[in-house]
Structure 1
Amino acid sequence: MVNPPINMARLTAMDATRAARVLNEVREATLAGRRARIAPRPVIEQSWGRMLRSGVDPEHDFRSGLLSSDELRRRREESPLRQVLPVLREGLLSVADVAQHIMVIADAEGRVLWREGSRQVLRKADHLGLQPGADWREDVVGTNGVGTPVVVRRPVQVFAGEHFVRSHTTWTCTGAPITDPTDGRLLGVVDVSGPLKTMHPATLAWVESVAKLAEAHLREAHQAALERLRAVAAPVLARLGGRALAVDRDGWVAAVTGMPYVRRIGLPTSVAPGSRWLPALGSCTVEPLAGGWLLRVEDEPFATGSCRIVLDLVRPGRCALTVETPAGSWSRELSPRHAELLFLLCEHRSGRSAARLADDLFADASRTVTVRAEMSRIRRYLGELLHHRPYRFHENAEVEVLLPDDPRELLPRSTAPAVARRRAATGCGRPTRP
């Protein structure tokens, strides 16, 4: 008989001492391989499993070196989260001293960039190594409210004994990822942390709502930047013949001439002026514009014979797609849904209909509208390298998918039935060429 998972609302109704005792009992039994009276929550149990497989020591905390002051300064200056610091501070620090908590902001690698709040709690955080420049990745310090949201890409609350490392079990933390609203790329995590007595189930919704507010602020700033680029590009495009686009540095389109409007063009990781090949457009001349690029399309035939597509699923939560051609290459970090869909197409090189993909993802073949919308977004950056009716990679393109050594680490966040079946299979420890 499977024990029911912990009911957090019931647990938080207890006093802090009793709640800590219950959680520690669950932790001790589970890590010792015994069945606990109450099962850990799924998100915590899955994280503990990752820790055990990666060799994190639950009895001794490990602290990697802090970033140098110069490196910390550089990361702060380059982080898009710098733009939303006022939003995060206003939403999370107004009651910091009364509620006895601190706000922690980390980048997409789990490195702590900023830390503010109750002075008393900041001193306690120092003893845990939760300092600016510290590495709080899950596979370094165990299950926690900074590193675990980086992996699972959703808000996570970690109470006391739910922390994997014993020295953290007097602590409570709640973290929510902040993603770039323009492309779904993880920017970092905002976390509220404090002693066990600060535990409250409403904290999760609170932190998540502030993270969403920060994303909305980034979305508004992006739209304003596109408007400025559109004003710069309008007189330039008016003088041109043929097909041309003005795009920002992430490929979002501000204006076009001589062709239908598209929302976004997939750009290489590093863009420079000159002749470039893009999957969605073919050969282009790239010229700088204030705040972006001018792409002048050269009408040359599309060639895929020497194209190579690499889908990298090795790192959980950091899936990427790379396209390599003689004219250049580009890479792109994928959203979880796009990683799922491209993996399924790698598994089925002959093609997959929208209905079959819907069944693979949701066990519901009727959900074709969702599938078609996502595939349309993928085709915006893969262009003619991805056919439809059925959806499939171009027959002349070489396709490779890189899989993690441990089958259980294949798209660990995915609940798609087809992915779950593949996780359960063996032999995905080597790169495969479908």
Structure 2
Amino acid sequence: MFGGTGPAASLLVAESWERSRDRGIDPTVVAPSVELEGPDLSRHVAQHRMASVLPVVESVLVPGVVSSGHIVAVADERGRLLRVIGDRGVRSRAESMAFIPGAVWTDEAVGANAPGLALRHDTAVRVRGSEHYLEMAHEWSCAAAPVHDPGSGELIGLIDVTGPSSAASDQMLALIRATVMLAEGELRTAAGLVVPRPTAADRSDGGRLRLRVLGPGAGVLDGDVPGIDGRVLTGRHAEICVLLDAHPEGLTGGALAELLADDRLDEVSVRAEVSRLRRVLGTDVVGSRPYRLAPGALATDVRDVTDALGCGDVMRAVAAYPGPLLPSSDAPGVADLRLEIHSMVRAAVLSADRLPVLRAWVAGAGREDLAAWRGLARSRYADASTVAAAEARCRVLDQRFGA
């Protein structure tokens, strides 16, 4: 499921540096050890569960990343790199610091780095330049996210992008997360797991409230409570609902304030907004200490999209995604979620590479997506009129984006 970036990266990095200093690691001389080589490495990769993730990584993440000076890495649960993909020149530079298949890039072994911290804390992490403990890694930035077994929830590996400063951007982290979600869907399919689509009857209160937060008309409540159906929430109330939905474990007043505004809100103001929201939704819907939504009390169209992606039903995800999350919101937490959700759907569309999915995408939320239009123009299943229309649209977008 979608969510924030976890604990503040700066705190994770600071704690990692302290651990490395306590262990007496010299950042000027330490180098990652290489545990697996040759046939041992090949055998380990072939037998590992992350092997079924590699095709998704290569089709979704690699094409848009390696051409811009980045390398993509997949590692196992012990931080050993299984595959490193990128242009030969970039990989050669990375090899100088032993960023190669078989090498161990844990936090314990080499100090602060995104793969190591992602494994240690089981969360998506970004590490920029000199935040790396190893001096030889200071010219690189990286972002990584863990991959879990969809049946057991066990952490089985990670996906990482390493390169220039853009490797640690919001856009890159969102793309990595989208790839992870698709990879876990592939693992679910390979294991024969069935994830049923939740229905109103599955929810503890019958699903009496539903909030539309995607695309035009976002922020509208539907439900069988008098006075609720069709009610438009204030922008702030819609933001609070979205953030609490994304954090089912709950948020403190301070954490919620930081996600709602760049200039931290006063917690008193947050408390007042939540109090007003309770009067709209009902006192049983929003809990306190920490703030959280009661399980099953509020359904959202975001969940429709992520549930469909989790089931591998890309067409249903596209149909459920009319446009960006709360498009007029500038709340930092909402902006991160907006980018993440859009990236998830887009990555699934481009990975599926199916004519009906591409058509549905470009007819709706993906109408400005040049890569999707190019895919449509190249599709061997498209008729002549579809190809011609797609090629014309590509020319328009090429001119608009200066391609």
TM-score band by shorter chain is 0.3 to 0.5
| Structure with the larger RCO, 1 or 2 (CA within 8 Å, 6+ apart) | 2
For the pair shown, the structure with the greater C-alpha radius of gyration is 1
- TM-score, with length taken from structure 2: 0.45
The structure whose residues are more often strand, as a share, is: 1
The structure whose residues are more often helix, as a share, is: 2
